[in-house]
């Protein structure tokens, strides 16, 4: 059997909020089923079937509650940390939740997915080591990682590979435009709306800059004040994008100072 939406809901809460919240959620689901069965036996089902108005009220009330829960879930960051499924504790918690709440077929799906993740991690680990080694021995990547908050080794390596070189860009604004993080005014075909990201250029560079920009959401970040102001005025995504543009401009200036030396071994 394929797990239904309520089972998936309980599992998601177990993974993101912990066992205590998941148990409360499971009890709530059971209580809701009991209330629905009791009210149906008392005649509410027949009343709903005979009154279109009552049916519509209940229908829209249920839809509104689902929308409210969805908005609340999106606004609250999950407690499942990045890379939690790479730890023995995280994997054990997922297997335990699957064993309690899923059918044998559902447990097999979870086990298969975990096997695929394990195999993928085994293939990616050598590549990850190669990237980290290259970042530690490249002059430009080391300079960016040392001077830019939020730029880790892989992010610094990506920026160096795409932005470094003598005379690569005549201005830092062109580096932002190259990454596809500039705001479009118009599109040549007239189909795209203005005020959106151009998304031209390397997706890896765009992702690296955005990931670095998100780190300024931390209270200890040097530019947290600006990030928080933009987030309050707009939203967190706009704040991260603004920080990403600033980071790309700073990276462009640092790499321009290094010139071709940025691409030499440190």
Quick check: 63 pLDDT over 90?
A: no
Percentage of the chain lying above the pLDDT 90 cut:
41
Domain boundaries, the chain: 5-82, 137-263
Higher local confidence (pLDDT), 249 or 100: 249
Quick check: 160 pLDDT over 90?
A: yes
Quick check: 210 pLDDT over 90?
A: yes
Question: Using 50, 70 and 90 to split pLDDT, how confident is the model at 82?
Answer: very low
Separation in Å, CA 165 to CA 33, 198, 261 = 65, 24, 8
4: left (phi over 0), alpha (psi -120 to 50) or beta: beta
Chain centre to alpha carbon of residue 212: 13
């Amino acid at each position: 059997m394929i797990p239904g939406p309520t089972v998936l809901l309980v599992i998601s809460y177990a993974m993101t909020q912990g066992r205590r919240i998941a148990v409360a959620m499971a009890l709530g689901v059971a209580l809701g089923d009991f209330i629905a069965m009791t009210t149906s036996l008392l005649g509410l089902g027949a009343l709903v079937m005979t009154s279109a108005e009552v049916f519509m009220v209940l229908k829209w009330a249920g839809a509104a509650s689902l929308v409210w829960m969805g908005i609340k879930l999106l606004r609250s960051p999950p407690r499942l940390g990045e890379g939690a499924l790479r730890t023995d504790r995280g994997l054990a918690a997922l297997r335990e939740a699957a064993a309690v709440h899923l059918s044998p077929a559902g447990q097999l799906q979870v086990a298969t997915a975990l096997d695929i993740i394990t195999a993928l991690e085994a293939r990616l680990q050598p590549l990850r080591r190669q990237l980290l080694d290259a970042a530690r021995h490249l002059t430009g990547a080391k300079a960016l990682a040392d001077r830019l908050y939020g730029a880790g080794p892989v992010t610094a390596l990506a920026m160096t590979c795409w932005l470094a070189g003598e005379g690569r860009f005549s201005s830092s604004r062109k580096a932002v435009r190259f990454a596809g993080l500039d705001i479009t005014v118009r599109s040549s075909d007239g189909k795209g709306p203005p005020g959106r990201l151009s998304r031209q250029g390397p997706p890896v560079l765009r992702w690296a800059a955005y990931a670095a920009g998100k780190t300024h959401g931390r209270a200890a970040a040097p530019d947290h004040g600006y990030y928080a102001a933009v987030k309050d005025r707009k939203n967190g995504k706009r704040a991260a994008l603004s920080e990403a543009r600033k980071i790309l401009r700073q990276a462009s200036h640092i790499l321009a100072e290094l010139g071709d030396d940025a691409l030499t071994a440190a």
